[in-house]
């Protein structure tokens, strides 16, 4: 079972873009309630051989409107370089405690789309939903880390190769 994810980002001009989370250890982060990302490698249907370069689709997060919203829109409208974006995923441990198990980091990202949505509140089942927005990022570099085993992979559009490694460092903690 997945719990919420939490995002931190830094703009080249605005600096840290703070969210509304007040939970201890996650202060000023942005709570993410949904996430989607795809990477595909085009292949020939008949042979299964690669036919082109890998394609990274925009990484999309869904969040509730909060104090970061105007800052994110400012980053979009000014084409601001997001020097660093970190998305940390949490799940319950067997003992019921929340543990961070997966991290995605983007380097030199840009926000390419923000879509906001309020569900039709004429339907009672929709009244409990907050106004949400989807933020789409493109990026130069992405790093995926499975925290428990310290396994990482990364892809950098500036290079031709994908790398992976096993880190022997302890789990990263959310608070910096």
pLDDT at 116: 96
Q: Tokens 């923000």 appear where?
A: 114
Helix (H, G, I), strand (E, B) or coil at 159: coil
pLDDT of 65 over the 90 cut: yes
The Cα–Cα gap between 128 and 115 comes to 20
Tell me: the pLDDT tens digits for 106-140?
999 999 999 999 888 888 887 788 889 999 999 99
CATH topology (fold) of 4-43+50-156: Pnp Oxidase; Chain A (2.30.110)
pLDDT at 2: 77
Residue spans per domain, the chain: 4-43+50-156
pLDDT at 61: 98
Compute the average pLDDT of residues 66-85. 98
pLDDT at 168: 45
Give residues with Cβ within 8 angstroms of 17, minimum separation 6: 9, 10, 11, 30, 68, 71, 72, 75
- Return the H-helix or E-strand segment holding 27: none
pLDDT at 170: 41
Report the sign of the C-alpha dihedral through residues 152, 19, 139, 14, in that order: negative
pLDDT at 29: 98
Helix (H, G, I), strand (E, B) or coil at 125: helix
């Amino acid at each position: 079972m997945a719990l919420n994810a939490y995002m931190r980002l830094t703009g080249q001009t605005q600096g840290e873009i703070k969210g509304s989370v007040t939970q201890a250890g996650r202060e000023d982060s942005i709570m993410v309630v949904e996430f989607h990302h795809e990477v595909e490698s085009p292949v020939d249907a008949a042979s299964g051989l690669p036919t082109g370069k890998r394609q990274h689709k925009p990484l999309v997060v869904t969040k509730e409107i909060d104090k970061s919203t105007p800052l994110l829109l400012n980053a979009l409208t000014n084409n601001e370089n997001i020097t660093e974006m970190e998305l940390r995923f949490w799940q319950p441990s067997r003992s019921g405690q929340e543990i961070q198990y997966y991290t995605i980091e983007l380097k030199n990202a840009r926000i390419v789309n923000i879509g906001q949505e309020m569900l039709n509140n004429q339907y009672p089942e929709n009244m409990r939903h907050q106004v949400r927005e989807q933020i789409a990022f493109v990026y130069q570099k992405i790093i995926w880390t499975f925290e428990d085993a310290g396994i990482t992979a990364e892809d950098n559009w500036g290079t031709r190769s994908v790398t992976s490694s096993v880190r022997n460092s302890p789990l990263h903690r959310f608070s910096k």
